[in-house]
Structure 1
Amino acid sequence: MTDDLVELRSMTVLPADREEIELRTEDGLTLVGELALPAEGPVTGTLITLHPLPTHGGFMDSHVYRKAAWRLPALAGLAVLRFNTRGTSSPRGTSDGEFGEGIAEAADVRAAVDFAVSRGLPNRWLVGWSFGTELTLMHGADLDVEGAILLSPPLHRATEDDMRRWAATGRPVTALVPEHDDFLKPDEARERFAPLTQLELIAVPDAKHLWVGERYVRIVHDAIVERVAPERAPLPGEVPASMVE
């Protein structure tokens, strides 16, 4: 009997080993999260995701990341680590502490990377979205990661010095900048990111800051996989029906 192919849709969930986790920060906080691992086969890479601004609705379940955890372990062999930064709530729970304007969250980023290292998760990449790109740029350059992917970077908090620190590492950084972003459009982004000399900037036509719509989620996921696990790109648009949970 053939296993019919079905299209990946917005609510499609594929197999993974999903574990509720807790991260401990150096200043004594407990952050709640989830680690999704491939149900079969090796881990090809690890996404350490940093969510949008929690004071404006960002959390570990922000849709691009939730769908990454639903799909990418099965489709690309990726481990997807999601967590709520300090003071942030989601259905998973509420992390200790309170919003730290992106400064105190340095300890949150370190705790997430340290957790991935302690678990032996390979080929670690920071993936920041909006506020999460600020955390990546401000606090990620000195951490044990292979590179970074920035989704809708607003550059409200990160400075030229932060970008120069990343530039000095020589590690790859890719920014996906929506054509119609509310905060930083592609032409301005090219100018402001000049200190990050190795930056690969991808202008995404018609896209907006929140990447609403399945078309744009797929663009983001494909770009991530092309850089973290290129042997698994491009991602399929259909899967065997038996894979769908």
Structure 2
Amino acid sequence: MSIEQTGASAEIRALSVLPARREEIELHTADGLTLVGELALPAEREPVATLVTLHPLPTHGGFMDSHVLRKAAWRLPALADLAVLRFNTRGTASPRGRSEGTFDGGDAERFDVAAAIEFAEFTGLPRPWLVGWSFGTELALMHGADPAVEGAILLSPPLSRATDADLDEWDRFGRPLVALVPELDDFLQPEEARRRFARVHQAEVIGVDGAKHLWVGEASVRRVLDEIVAHVLPGHPPLPTTWAGTIGTASGADEVR
């Protein structure tokens, strides 16, 4: 990563990395596995809330560095004072390393979700929200109704593994549930999503015109990050598109994974 000290404001681009305190972490599951991850915190302040992120399907290239989650970690500690926790679920590898165990289709991953929530709780990270993307939304719906969690934001929920029983559990749980559904999603589009999520009375389904499942492009990423901040921090101003100060530029490898 290259670092540039800017005097005037510079545009925040796809590979911009804003200042934060970043540390490698490990999560320990109840069934004895060690999962690798990263925690990004505001550089000079304590976080006001926490995003516990759940990545897309690892058998189709999803991991903790999937681009929307990575950009959340690059930007939101600086722009919104949020802590961003990313990790590889069991058997998943990234440049950070490989988590122990093997992919279990979303079943044993219940221990991974619990370990991430417990890490946030026991390290004093405030107001944890789950942010799942694709397969990660299934994990949030199936295993995320934990009293320590304030709510969940779902990006491109396919609702292929999560059942009506899981939705009913979220309805009883009563915490906020927000689904960002791309107009052109390959798996679940807004009209059907509204029908399926209707059984969760507190659910909000937001259809995003022109967007696709992978949220490719800076406009899509900014829409996602703006929606996350608006729901986690009601009343927060729109995220700026420029930054004055130190700014890094990351490698473009795996940009849309």
Q: Among 129, 137, 144, which residue is 1:140 paired with?
A: 144
Q: Shift of the alpha carbon at 1:3?
A: 3.2
Q: Which amino acid aligns with 1:234?
A: P
- Superposition map of 1:96-175 within 5 A: 96-175=100-179
Q: Shift of the alpha carbon at 1:143?
A: 4.2
Measured in 2, the distance between the counterparts of 1:136 and 1:74 equals 26
Find out whether 1:20 has 2:24 as its counterpart: yes
* Alignment check: 8 A CA contact 1:110 1:143 kept: no
Q: Shift of the alpha carbon at 1:228?
A: 1.0
Measured in 1, the distance between the counterparts of 2:141 and 2:236 equals 27
Which residue does the alignment assign to 1:46? Answer: 50
Measured in 2, the distance between the counterparts of 1:158 and 1:164 equals 11
Deviations for 1:54-96, whole angstroms, at most 9, x for unmatched residues? 0000000000010111100000000000000000000000000
Deviations for 1:136-194, whole angstroms, at most 9, x for unmatched residues? 00001134100000000000000111111111121111000000000000001111112
Measured in 1, the distance between the counterparts of 2:167 and 2:142 equals 8
* Alignment check: 8 A CA contact 1:182 1:209 kept: yes
Which residue does the alignment assign to 1:221? Answer: 225
Which residue does the alignment assign to 1:232? Answer: 236
Q: Shift of the alpha carbon at 1:232?
A: 3.1
Q: Among 201, 204, 208, which residue is 1:197 paired with?
A: 201
Measured in 1, the distance between the counterparts of 2:146 and 2:9 equals 44
Which residue does the alignment assign to 1:62? Answer: 66
Measured in 2, the distance between the counterparts of 1:79 and 1:42 equals 9
Q: Which amino acid aligns with 1:31?
A: L
CA RMSD between the two structures: 1.0
In structure 2, the residue corresponding to 1:230 is in which secondary structure? coil
Which residue does the alignment assign to 2:255? Answer: none
Q: TM-score, normalised by structure 1?
A: 0.97
Deviations for 1:107-130, whole angstroms, at most 9, x for unmatched residues? 000000000001100111000000
Q: Which amino acid aligns with 2:158?
A: P
- Superposition map of 1:65-104 within 5 A: 65-104=69-108
In structure 2, the residue corresponding to 1:69 is in which secondary structure? helix
Q: Shift of the alpha carbon at 1:196?
A: 1.2
Which residue does the alignment assign to 1:11? Answer: 15
Q: Shift of the alpha carbon at 1:230?
A: 2.8
Unmatched 5+ residue regions in structure 1?
none
Which residue does the alignment assign to 1:243? Answer: 246
Q: TM-score, normalised by structure 2?
A: 0.93
Aligned residues: 243
Find out whether 1:34 has 2:38 as its counterpart: yes
Q: Which amino acid aligns with 1:96?
A: E
Q: Shift of the alpha carbon at 1:231?
A: 4.1
Write out the 4+ residue segments of structure 1 that deviate beyond 3 Å after TM superposition.
none
Q: Shift of the alpha carbon at 1:239?
A: 1.1
Measured in 2, the distance between the counterparts of 1:107 and 1:16 equals 28
Which residue does the alignment assign to 2:183? Answer: 179
Q: Which amino acid aligns with 1:38?
A: P
